[in-house]
C-alpha cells in the first residue's frame, strides 16, 4: 500500500513539474535567427553530403518560385526581415519533407512525384515554413530538455524506485508527444493562411493528406518519413477541413489537385490514366468522333468541377433521348433506342468505376 502511495506521489510530482515547465506553444517569436540559421546551415551541409541532391534546373526553379512567395510572407509574419528559405530536393522514394532551423527545407523526389499540382506542393512547403517561423525547433528542444530534467528529478527523489521512474518517463514522453501534435496542428493552420496569402489554393493541403491517408490504408510498405510521427492522418484531415471552413474557403478538390484529368488520344477518352471508351466504336451515336469528342470532354470537365460521387452519375431517358447525366450536366445525349440505352448503360458503368477508383475523399464527406 505504501509503495502504491509513493508511486502516486511521484506521478503527481511529475505532473506538477511538467505543467509548470510548459513552453508557450502560441508564442510566434524567433528568438535568435542568426544562431538558428547557423545551426540549420550546419545540419543542411551534413544532409547534402549524405543524400544525393537533385541538380535538375527545372525542379529547382519550381522550388525557388514557390519559395520566393513563401519567404516574403514568412518575413512579414515573423518580423525577421532577413529570414531566408532555402529549399532543396533529394533523391528518395520516401514521401517526405522537413524543415531545419533557420529556414532550410528539404523535400524528397518521392514527395515531388506524389503531389499533383503546385498548390499541393506549396501547401506542404508552407507547413514546413510554419515550423520555421513559429520557432518550433527551439520550443521542442527546450521542452525536451526540461522533461528530461523532470524525469531525472523524479528518479533522484524516488531513490530509483522502478515504478516511479518508469511512470515519470512514460508521462514525460506522452506529454512531449502531445505537444508535438499541437505544433503540427499549428503548422497546418499556418500553411492554410500562408497558401492563401501567397496566391495558392489551401485546399491542396487537404487533398494531399487525403491521398496520403488512402495510401496508408492500402499499403504497409511505404516509408512516410517524419510524417509517421504526425497526428493520425484521419484526425488531421478533419481539423484541416474545419480550418478551411472556418476561413470561408470553398472546398473544391478538383481545382486544387487537378483530379479527374480528362485527356484524349485521337478518339480515345481517358480519365486520369484510365481508358473510358473510343468514340469510333459507336458510329451511330458519334457520327463525327473527332468533332463530338470536344463536346464530351467539355461536358465532363464541367461535371467534374462539381466533385461528383458515383451516385451522381446516371442514365436518364425521356421520350426522345437517352442521356448520361452528372449533376444535371448532360455528358452524352443520343436518340432513345434500345441499342443506345444498352450502350450508355455500359459507358455509365465504366465511368462510375473510374470515378470510384480515383476518389480519395469519400469517407470524409
Residue-wise pLDDT for 68-93, tens only, equals 999 999 999 999 999 999 999 999 99
Q: For residue 285, is pLDDT > 70?
A: yes
Return the minimum-mean-pLDDT range out of 65-79, 230-244, 248-262: 230-244
Percent of the chain residues past pLDDT 90, beyond the cut: 67
Q: Are 22 and 140 in contact (CB under 8 A)?
A: no
Q: Are 102 and 78 in contact (CB under 8 A)?
A: no
Q: Are residues 277 and 174 in the same domain?
A: no
Quote the CA–CA distance of 235 and 232 in Å, as a whole number: 5
Q: Are residues 192 and 44 in the same domain?
A: yes
More confident residue, 10 or 278: 278
Q: Are residues 33 and 130 in the same domain?
A: yes
Q: Are residues 250 and 293 in the same domain?
A: no
Q: Are 136 and 128 in contact (CB under 8 A)?
A: no
Q: In this structure, what DSSP letter does residue 288 have? A: S
- Binning pLDDT at 50, 70 and 90, where does residue 171 land? very low
> In degrees, to the nearest 5, what angle opens at C-alpha 64 toward C-alphas 27 and 250?
65
Read off the pLDDT of each residue in 358-363 and give the average, rounded to a whole number.
Answer: 64
Q: Are residues 89 and 220 in the same domain?
A: yes
Q: 81 Cβ partners below 8 Å, 6+ apart?
A: 75
More confident residue, 31 or 272: 272
More confident residue, 21 or 114: 114
Q: Which of 203, 236, 228 is nearest to 117 (CA)?
A: 203
Return the minimum-mean-pLDDT range out of 116-125, 233-242, 325-334: 233-242
Could you say which of 224, 254, 284 is where a domain stops? Answer: 254
Q: Is the dihedral of CA 119, 239, 222, 45 positive or negative?
A: positive
Q: Are residues 210 and 350 in the same domain?
A: no
More confident residue, 292 or 216: 292
Quote the CA–CA distance of 333 and 260 in Å, as a whole number: 21
Could you say which of 226, 254, 282 is where a domain stops? Answer: 254
Q: What pLDDT shows up at residue 225?
A: 52
Q: Are residues 63 and 79 in the same domain?
A: yes
- Binning pLDDT at 50, 70 and 90, where does residue 137 land? confident
Return the minimum-mean-pLDDT range out of 10-24, 171-185, 263-277: 10-24
Q: Are 195 and 123 in contact (CB under 8 A)?
A: yes
Quote the CA–CA distance of 324 and 345 in Å, as a whole number: 8
Q: What pLDDT shows up at residue 136?
A: 78
Helices (H), 198-330: 203-218, 233-246, 253-257, 289-304
Q: Are residues 99 and 225 in the same domain?
A: yes
For residue 268, the SS3 value is: strand
For residue 24, the SS3 value is: coil
More confident residue, 9 or 263: 263
For residue 284, the SS3 value is: coil
How many domains does one find in the chain? 2
- Taken as a whole, the chain contains a residue count of 365
Q: What pLDDT shows up at residue 156?
A: 53
Q: What pLDDT shows up at residue 135?
A: 86
Quote the CA–CA distance of 289 and 279 in Å, as a whole number: 6
More confident residue, 130 or 163: 130
Contacts 24+ apart (CB under 8 A), 104-107: 104/40, 104/41, 104/43, 104/44, 105/67, 105/129, 105/132, 106/44, 106/47, 107/63
- Binning pLDDT at 50, 70 and 90, where does residue 221 land? low
Quote the CA–CA distance of 246 and 193 in Å, as a whole number: 12
Nine-digit cell string for 219 = 499499403
Q: Are residues 211 and 249 in the same domain?
A: yes
Return the minimum-mean-pLDDT range out of 16-20, 298-302, 303-307: 16-20
Return the minimum-mean-pLDDT range out of 60-74, 167-181, 237-251: 167-181
Quote the CA–CA distance of 247 and 266 in Å, as a whole number: 43
Q: Are residues 222 and 114 in the same domain?
A: yes
Could you say which of 254, 288, 309 is where a domain stops? Answer: 254
Q: What pLDDT shows up at residue 13?
A: 43
Q: What pLDDT shows up at residue 329?
A: 97
Q: Across the chain, where does the E strand assignment appear? A: 86-90, 97-100, 104-108, 262-265, 268-271, 274-278, 313-317, 321-326, 329-335
Q: For residue 25, is pLDDT > 90?
A: no
Quote the domain boundaries for residue 175.
2-254
Q: What pLDDT shows up at residue 275?
A: 98
Quote the CA–CA distance of 294 and 308 in Å, as a whole number: 21
* Average pLDDT value for the chain: 84
Q: Are residues 53 and 137 in the same domain?
A: yes
Q: For residue 297, is pLDDT > 70?
A: yes
Q: For residue 213, is pLDDT > 60?
A: yes
Q: Are residues 124 and 226 in the same domain?
A: yes
Q: For residue 6, is pLDDT > 80?
A: no
Q: Are 244 and 193 in contact (CB under 8 A)?
A: no
Read off the pLDDT of each residue in 57-77 and give the average, rounded to a whole number.
Answer: 97
- Binning pLDDT at 50, 70 and 90, where does residue 27 land? low
Amino acid at each position: 500500500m505504501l509503495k502504491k502511495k509513493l508511486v502516486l506521489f511521484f506521478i503527481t510530482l511529475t505532473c506538477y513539474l511538467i505543467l509548470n515547465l510548459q513552453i508557450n506553444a502560441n508564442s510566434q517569436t524567433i528568438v535568435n535567427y542568426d544562431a538558428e540559421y547557423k545551426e540549420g546551415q550546419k545540419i543542411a551541409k551534413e544532409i547534402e553530403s549524405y543524400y544525393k541532391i537533385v541538380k535538375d534546373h527545372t525542379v529547382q526553379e519550381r522550388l525557388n518560385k514557390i519559395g520566393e512567395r513563401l519567404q516574403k510572407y514568412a518575413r512579414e509574419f515573423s518580423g525577421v526581415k532577413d529570414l531566408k528559405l532555402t529549399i532543396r530536393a533529394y533523391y528518395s522514394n520516401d514521401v517526405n519533407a522537413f524543415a531545419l532551423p533557420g529556414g532550410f527545407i528539404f523535400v524528397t523526389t518521392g514527395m515531388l512525384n506524389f503531389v499533383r499540382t503546385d498548390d499541393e506542393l506549396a501547401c506542404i512547403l508552407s507547413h514546413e515554413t510554419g515550423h520555421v517561423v513559429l520557432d518550433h525547433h527551439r520550443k521542442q528542444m527546450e521542452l525536451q530538455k526540461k522533461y528530461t530534467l523532470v524525469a531525472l528529478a523524479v528518479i533522484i527523489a524516488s531513490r530509483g524506485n522502478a515504478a516511479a521512474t518508469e511512470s515519470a518517463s512514460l508521462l514525460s514522453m506522452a506529454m512531449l508527444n502531445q505537444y508535438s501534435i499541437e505544433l503540427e496542428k499549428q503548422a497546418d493552420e499556418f500553411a492554410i493562411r500562408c497558401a492563401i496569402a501567397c496566391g495558392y489554393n489551401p485546399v491542396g493541403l487537404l487533398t494531399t493528406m487525403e491521398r496520403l491517408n488512402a495510401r496508408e490504408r492500402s499499403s504497409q510498405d511505404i516509408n512516410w518519413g517524419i510524417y509517421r510521427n504526425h497526428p493520425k492522418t484521419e484526425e488531421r484531415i478533419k481539423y484541416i477541413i474545419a480550418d478551411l471552413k472556418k476561413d470561408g474557403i470553398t472546398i473544391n478538390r478538383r481545382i486544387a489537385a487537378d483530379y479527374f484529368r480528362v485527356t484524349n488520344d485521337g478518339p480515345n477518352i481517358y480519365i486520369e490514366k484510365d481508358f473510358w471508351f473510343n468514340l469510333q466504336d459507336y458510329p451511330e451515336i458519334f457520327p463525327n468522333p473527332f468533332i463530338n469528342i470536344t463536346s464530351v470532354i467539355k461536358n465532363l470537365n464541367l461535371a467534374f468541377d462539381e466533385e461528383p460521387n458515383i451516385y451522381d452519375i446516371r442514365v436518364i431517358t425521356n421520350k426522345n433521348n437517352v442521356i448520361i447525366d452528372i449533376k444535371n450536366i448532360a455528358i452524352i445525349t443520343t436518340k432513345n433506342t434500345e441499342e443506345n440505352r444498352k450502350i450508355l448503360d455500359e459507358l455509365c458503368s465504366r465511368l462510375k468505376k473510374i470515378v470510384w477508383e480515383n476518389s480519395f475523399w469519400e469517407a470524409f464527406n
